[in-house]
Amino acid sequence: MPVRLGDSSSYVKHICRRPSGNILAKGMIMEEKYRRLLQTIKKYPQVAVAFSGGIDSSFLLHAARQALGPSKVHVVTVISSLQDEFFAKRVDAFLALQFGNSCVAHKLILDPMQWNQFVNNGRERCYICKKNMYRALKTSLSSGQGEVLIQLLDGTNKSDLEADRPGLQALIEEEVARPLAEVGLVKGEIRLLAKKHGLANWNLSSNSCLATRIERGTKISLNLLTSIEQGERFLQGLGFSGCRVQPRADMVLLQLQEKDIILAMQRNMREKTLSFFTKMGFNSVFVDCLGRQS
C-alpha cells in the first residue's frame, strides 16, 4: 500500500525468514548448473550476447567467454530513448573494467517512438519492442546474403519464465537462445555465481526500460520518458539506488528498495522529494511501502 509523502504515516516492514537449507548441497547444484551452462554455449561456433548492462547478461557474457574464448564471443547492445542518457557510457566502462579494452560492444541505435503499437502501450508493448529489437540485432549479425552466422544469446533466466513477460514470445519467434533459463538458473543463483566469478556488478539492482514505469494504456512519449529519467536520477542522487518513478496523471508513485523506505520517510528527505516532484508538475507524491526487491 502506498503512503503519501506529505503524511506522517509509518509502514510495517515484513520480514520473511527462509530456511537456510543445506548450503553445501545448494552450492554443488549451482556449480552443476554452471557446468551445464558452459556445455550449452559450447554447441555454438560463435555467439553474440545481447548486453543490457544488468547482472544476467553480464554473467552470460562471462560464461560465454569462458566456454568459447573471447574471440568467438561478440557483444551487442541497443541504444534508444528507453534508457537513460548515461547507459552507453556505463556499458563501455563495465566491459573495460571486467574484460579489458578488447571487449567492445557493437551498439545499434533504434527509435521505438516509430513503432505505433509500442507507443500505444497496450499489453503487447514488450512483445513489440523485443520483436523489433531482436530482429534488428539479428540483421546486424547476418551475412550479406541474410544468413545469420552468429547465434544471438539473451540473459533471460528461469525466474523470468515464471513472471508475466509477453516479450518472451518474441525471443522464441526470433530463435534467440536463452542458456541461463535452459539450465534452470534463477536470479539468486546467478548473483552468487557472479560474485564467486568476480563480476564487479554482481549485486547491481535489477533494472528495466523506462517504458515499464508507464501505466498500460497511457501513450508513451519522449517527454514522459524524460520526466521519469530525471526523477530517478534525482532519487539516485539522494542515495536511493534501484528506484522507480511511476507517473500517474497528476500524481507520481515512487518505488524504493525496502531498505530505503525508512530513510525516505525522514522529514528532510520528504521535503526535498516533495519539492522536486511538485516543481515537475505533480500534485501528489506517494511511496510504495512494499518496497522493491533487487
Nearest to 242 by CA among 55, 13, 72: 55
List the catalytic residue out of 103, 209, 243, 289: 209
Kindly report the pTM of this predicted structure: 0.88
Longest dimension (CA), the chain: 65
pLDDT at 17 (0 to 100): 43
Q: What structural domains and CATH numbers belong to the chain?
A: 2-16+207-288 (no CATH), 23-196 (3.40.50.620)
pLDDT at 21 (0 to 100): 55
- Interhelix angle for 55-68 vs 23-42, to 10°? 60
Q: Is 209 a catalytic residue?
A: yes
Cell numbers given for 142: 547476418
CA distance 79 to 114: 14
pLDDT at 147 (0 to 100): 63
* Three-state SS annotation for 3-46: EECCCCCCCCCCCCCCCCCCHHHHHHHHHHHHHHHHHHHHCCCC
Q: Return per-residue pLDDT of the chain as tens, 294 residues.
A: 576 676 544 443 443 444 455 766 777 899 999 999 999 999 999 999 999 999 999 999 999 999 999 999 999 999 999 999 999 999 999 999 999 988 999 999 999 999 999 999 999 999 999 999 999 999 999 865 556 679 999 999 999 998 778 889 999 999 999 999 999 999 999 999 999 999 999 999 888 999 999 999 999 999 999 999 999 999 999 999 999 999 999 999 999 999 999 999 999 999 999 999 999 999 999 999 888 876
pLDDT at 183 (0 to 100): 97
pLDDT at 28 (0 to 100): 87
Nearest to 133 by CA among 87, 59, 76: 76
Q: Which residues, other chains included, contact 258 with Cβ-Cβ below 8 Å and sequence gap of 6+?
A: 13, 290, 291, 292, 293
* Contact (CB, 8 A) for 27 and 131: no
CA distance 227 to 237: 15
pLDDT at 74 (0 to 100): 97
